[in-house]
């Protein structure tokens, strides 16, 4: 220790912030070491040794003074005594790591206090030395602590940057997928509008059927992802009519038996069109089954009861509702009250009774709002 004392010292007890770490590294300068000890003689000796090894040094006589010197955003390198009045070294260790999680803190402890030294390692100290430390041990401990601190800090910055890039790319991908989804929706809507126009269907028929279908489905507490498939199935229910000749589709009089056979192929044609498209497969099941009846009297597969997909059972009510409450050349539109009575009467035969019950819960005012939604 006498030899160490002869090296000289230059104590600085006034608070000062550490030099920026990135500047030190970029210019090849060693980091500044903050020596914290309530014994000035010890501080002077340790500072002299570290300066001899090329380290810039700052000194603090207490834990509170040390914290004043660490106010900046720099990565600290601290050499700290365990035993100090007021706040001890363990308290300072906790405060430093709370403010600078990747700081390098080397603790100094006396003989017989190794239990506390092990405790400080558990709390995040980079290393500990027994007092008085040998010069080689002190320098090596400082070097190891600083190397570990720089590596940990660099990893943290890398992961933060990576996380930021992932968030940015995720946001870009989400926006792109939303744009694609909107394009799909616009394309499907244009196709359905073309089909409605070809069949001289009443304005907004397919969209109204979708709104009625989803209103009933929500009353049945069907989850959102399933609602999307049901909505698309309702929208595209008649897409198979694209394969029906105009001479049949637009025939003003009754159809012959052969023409009915051709017309009844449209659910299968529609299903084949959609089933090759992944996101439209749930809709394809509804398109295939939208003309089935609860009692098994529908087509094309004569499905009965719950063998019919739920979306198709709901759609059947919505489609009938829209047909009854829309004007036709041969009749005037029925009221919602009249349609409600007829649909209720057919519960258990044409329609699923559970779906009918959900439909009956929707007040006329809501149905009228759904009918006028796009018109407005």
Beta strands in the chain (DSSP E): 33-36, 57-60, 77-81, 104-109, 127-130
Task: List 129's β-bridge partners, or say none.
Answer: 108
286: tokens are 């509804």
Residues with Cβ < 8 Å from 246, sequence gap 6 or more? 198
Residues with Cβ < 8 Å from 135, sequence gap 6 or more? 4, 49
Cα torsion 259, 261, 263, 265: sign: negative
Active site (annotated) includes residue 241: yes
Q: State the burial class of residue 25 (Cβ atoms within 10 Å of its Cβ: 0-12, 13-18, 19+).
A: middle
Neighbours of 45 (CB within 10 A): 24
* Total number of residues shown for the chain: 376
Chain mean position to CA 361: 35
Residue 333: which of 363, 358, 366, 368 has the closest Cα? 368
Residue 141: which of 107, 111, 90 has the closest Cα? 107
In angstroms, what CA-CA distances link 2 with 5, 9, 211?
5, 13, 91
Catalytic residue, candidates 83, 150, 241, 251: 241
In angstroms, what CA-CA distances link 202 with 58, 114, 270, 295, 329?
85, 89, 21, 29, 11
* DSSP label of 6: T
Whole-angstrom distance, CA of residue 60 vs CA of residue 37: 7
Task: Tell me which residue has tokens 């012959």.
Answer: 256
Long-range CB pairs of 218-224, under 8 A, 24+ apart, other chains included: 219/358, 219/359, 219/361, 219/362, 220/314, 220/354, 220/355, 220/358, 222/310
Catalytic (active-site) positions? 241
């Amino acid at each position: 220790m006498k030899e160490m004392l002869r090296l000289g010292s230059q104590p600085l007890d006034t608070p000062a912030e550490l030099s920026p770490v990135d500047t030190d590294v970029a210019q090849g300068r060693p980091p500044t070491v903050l020596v914290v000890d309530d014994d000035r003689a010890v501080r002077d000796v340790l500072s002299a040794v570290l300066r001899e090894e090329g380290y810039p040094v700052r000194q603090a006589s207490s834990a509170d003074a040390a914290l004043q010197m660490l106010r900046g955003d720099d990565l600290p390198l601290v050499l700290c005594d365990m035993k100090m009045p007021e706040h001890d070294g363990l308290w300072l260790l906790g405060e430093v790591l709370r403010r600078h999680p990747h700081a390098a803190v080397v603790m100094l402890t006396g003989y017989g206090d190794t239990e506390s030294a092990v405790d400080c390692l558990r709390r995040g100290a980079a290393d500990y030395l027994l007092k008085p430390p040998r010069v080689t041990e002190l320098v090596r401990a400082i070097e190891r602590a600083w190397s570990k601190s720089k590596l940990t800090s660099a990893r943290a910055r890398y992961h933060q940057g990576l996380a930021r890039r992932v968030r940015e790319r995720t946001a870009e991908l989400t926006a792109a997928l939303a744009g694609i989804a909107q394009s799909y929706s616009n394309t499907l809507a244009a196709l359905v509008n073309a089909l409605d126009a070809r069949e001289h269907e009443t304005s907004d028929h397919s969209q109204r059927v979708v709104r009625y279908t989803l209103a009933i489905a929500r009353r049945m507490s069907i989850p959102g992802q399933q609602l999307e498939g049901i909505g698309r199935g309702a929208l595209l229910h008649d897409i198979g009519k694209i394969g029906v000749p105009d001479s049949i589709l637009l025939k003003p009089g009754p159809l012959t038996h052969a023409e009915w056979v051709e017309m009844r192929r449209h659910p299968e044609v529609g299903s084949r069109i959609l089933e090759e498209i992944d996101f439209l497969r749930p809709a394809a099941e509804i398109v295939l089954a939208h003309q089935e009846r609860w009692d098994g009297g529908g087509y094309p597969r004569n499905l009965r009861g719950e063998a019919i997909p739920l979306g198709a059972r709901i759609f059947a009510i919505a489609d009938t509702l829209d047909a009854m409450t829309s004007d036709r050349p041969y009749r005037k539109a029925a009221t919602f009250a009249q349609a409600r009575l007829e649909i209720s009467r057919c519960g258990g035969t044409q329609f699923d009774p559970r779906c009918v019950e959900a439909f009956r819960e929707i007040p006329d005012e809501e149905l009228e709002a759904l009918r006028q939604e796009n018109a407005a």
